[in-house]
Amino acid sequence: MLSLKPASAKVVPCKICQQSSTLFGLVDFNRNCQIPGGVKLPLTGTPVYYRRCDACGFLFTDAFDDWSQEDFKTHIYNDDYHAVDPGYVLTRPRDNAAVVQQVFGVHKMILRVLDYGGGNDVLCSQLRAAGFPVATTYDPFVPEYANAPEGKFNLVTCFETLEHMPDPLKGIGAIVEYLAGPVFDAGAAAGLRQAWHELVVCRPAQWPHFVVQPRCTRERLAFARLPNQIV
């Protein structure tokens, strides 16, 4: 049974900077991203309210704060997820692997790579085929790759995962635990910096995500809240 945290008009602390966040808008629970080839789901009549921080602009919902991992597996990251996001299966992880190879391929023999939230291992399988000696996928919502990886990694990639975390600081903290050195922010590498900035600007197509991060929010994350450097 679908059950969300009741919405409240009260001001609540921002999940990033703890400043005041007020109600900003709402979408239907079945509002999914506008992805070519994806299925458009029927309305459920269940509203999901979003808040926006008055200080850093962070846009988020607290509707799922009480959900367990099993709730997410049942209602969102289930066997039908690929129907609304067909690019998740092959196209995007393959393209992301090409980016990692382009940026870090020259150093591949000394790298231990962890793809956090890596889905079906397509990205890491591409890296291993390209000669990366260690490329490991970890994704708690994919049974085959849900076991926590062992050891530390000197390159951690995290594509299209942060916006799915109801508690982004806790999620990033979990990623940092696997690091043997500075964090690699995949969206800021090489020529992708501008594309990343455009991606996280609040717009309707992004509302199905739990959080949307404007640039000022990411700067607070990088330089004020985390113990490790993000490059």
Specify whether 109 is located in the same domain as 183. Answer: yes
The number of distinct structural domains making up the chain is 2
Specify whether 166 is located in the same domain as 202. Answer: no
Beta-carbon contacts of 134 under 8 Å, excluding residues fewer than 6 positions away, are 111, 112, 113, 153
Q: Which domain holds residue 134?
A: 86-190
Instruction: Flag whether 103 is in a domain.
Output: yes
Instruction: Flag whether 67 is in a domain.
Output: yes
Beta bridge partners of 137: 115
Q: How far apart, in Å, are the Cα atoms of 191 and each of 95, 99, 119, 126, 143?
A: 14, 10, 24, 21, 34
CATH code of the domain containing 139: 3.40.50.150
Instruction: Flag whether 231 is in a domain.
Output: no
Query: Which two structure tokens, joined as six digits, stand for 47?
Result: 């509203």
Specify whether 182 is located in the same domain as 203. Answer: no
Specify whether 27 is located in the same domain as 141. Answer: no
Report the predicted TM-score, pTM, of the whole model to 2 decimal places.
0.78
Specify whether 137 is located in the same domain as 74. Answer: no
Contact 175, 231 (CB under 8 A): no
The one-character DSSP state at 171 is H
Q: What is the pLDDT along the chain (231 residues), one digit of tens a residue?
A: 789 999 999 999 999 899 999 999 999 999 887 777 778 889 999 999 999 999 999 999 999 999 998 999 999 888 888 888 888 888 899 999 999 999 899 999 999 999 999 999 999 999 999 999 999 999 998 999 999 999 999 889 988 888 888 888 888 888 889 988 654 454 444 444 443 333 333 333 333 455 555 555 555 554 444 444 443
Beta-carbon contacts of 76 under 8 Å, excluding residues fewer than 6 positions away, are none
